[in-house]
Amino acid sequence: MYKKLRESSCHSFDEKRVDQLMADFESDVYRIRLFFSEGIFKLIHFLLLSAMYLVVMFMYSVPLFLSALIVLPAWGFVLYQSEKALIHKQRNEFDSLISKPNDDWTGLNAFLPRRSRLTYAEILWAGFFFVCGGLIAWTGILEIGKFIAVMVLWGMILYFLPVFCNELTQMHLAESSSGRLLKVLRSSNQASQALTPRLRRGYMQLEEVFFSYSQNSMHAVNAISFMMTPGRTIGIIGKSGSGKTTLAHLMTGFYTPERGRITFDGEELNQKPPAASIAAVFEYSSLTADTVKANIAFSKPEAPMSEIIEAAKLAHAHDFIMELPEQYNTVLLGSGFSNSQMQRLAIARSLCVNPGILILDDAASEVDIQTRQKIYRGIKGMKGSRAIIILDDSVEAVCQADEIFVLCKGIIAERGTHKELLEREGIYARLLNNEMEQEGTRPLKNRG
């Protein structure tokens, strides 16, 4: 399952919530393992014992044997349905507790009354059988000793019957669980091709790329075309919901275009995802509960300390790392780091890989604009040629790019250099004016 999920496309995780995946792992896998390790043996044990007890009961009293044949299936069916409904309810409550951990544990309140009702019913059935058997013994049809033996056998069957019904229910639930897991294992993989971890030159081309999240929804990316070459920096700017992150997911191979294609050094991206050739940093990046050094070298564990420090310096993270108690050996635990520091560590992690293409999607949104520009300038001036794509909603973050695309509702509304876009006085110029007004400076159009 872990290997399958690692190979699954990012789009498959959009279709299933995290709590549902947790339920599959925590409940389904455990349920299957528990049934095959214990449940199947309990079922066989009950069937063998019941067969033996019924044979002895038949030898002692045919009327009581026939009564047992009528009562056992009926009572077993009632128990089975009750156990099935109870376990399904507990399963639903388990799923809801995963997604809403602050909910009250109400499952126990529903469980106790039902178990009490089942216990009362068991006593009634046992009493009914005892009365019938007593009448048979009273009339002399059955000897007292044999009657006591039959009642003991009946008690043993009643004792094991709820266990049998519970395990039978667990068997059906294990079957359902295996069906869900098999569905995941048999699902088609958009990202299941062999990874190619070698570094490449960094040529990327998008040709009339379309993408939407569902068949009936509007295109999040609509007819996007452009080409990236090594050493170039492209800035993509747009408001929230313009399609920047979707485009970043497409360029990293997380999603597959509906139409059009994305090629990387001449090969389609979805055919051979380049594991170490493209590095992407998003606004919210996860860091592991490990040392700072291990987090920066996460994708390149063999990286020497000199490369780790160089990556941290480029991301402007080295200074605050040196102020930590154990510097690069400090363990990332709790919330001792600011969002700005976390983002700079994530950028350093991507730089340590030395990718052919670096994609930064609001990667430094929590960093002040001056430091952000220093980071981007430092990345652009790194040794060796690499393509850099900066996706941001701030003009000041992308203004140094060689070419800038203005994204609006999934399409490229404007493109050009910073100077060319300002001269057009279109969307890009209005975005810059709005930024300046918010910062309290004079708008661009009023500058002398």
pLDDT of residue 350: 83
pLDDT of residue 192: 42
Contact 247, 359 (CB under 8 A): no
Question: How is the chain split into domains, by residue range?
Answer: 2-186, 204-446
The neighbour count for residue 1, using CB atoms within 10 Å, is 13
Question: 240 CB contacts (<8 Å, ≥6 apart)?
Answer: 393
Percent helix, strand and coil across the chain, each to the nearest 5:
55, 15, 30
Which pair of tokens denotes residue 160?
């094991």
Residues of the chain with pLDDT under 50: 98-118, 190-199, 271, 442-448
* DSSP H or E segment with residue 251: helix 244-251
CA distance 93 to 101: 11
Q: Cα 447 vs. chain centroid, distance in angstroms?
A: 50
**CATH number, domain 2-186, options 1.50.10.10, 3.40.50.10800, 1.20.1560.10, 1.10.10.10:** 1.20.1560.10
| pLDDT the model gives residue 428 | 85
What superfamily in CATH does domain 204-446 come from?
Answer: P-loop containing nucleotide triphosphate hydrolases (3.40.50.300)
Count of Cβ atoms closer than 10 Å to residue 415 Cβ: 16
Confidence at residue 349, expressed as pLDDT on a 0 to 100 scale: 86
Residue 225 parent element (H or E): strand 221-228
The DSSP 8-state label assigned to residue 446 in this structure reads G
pLDDT of residue 362: 78
Q: Residue 205: what are its φ and ψ, rounded to 5°?
A: -135, 130
Token couple for 190:
């958009």
Spacing of C-alpha 233 from chain mean position = 32
CA 65 to CA 58: how far, in whole Å? Answer: 5
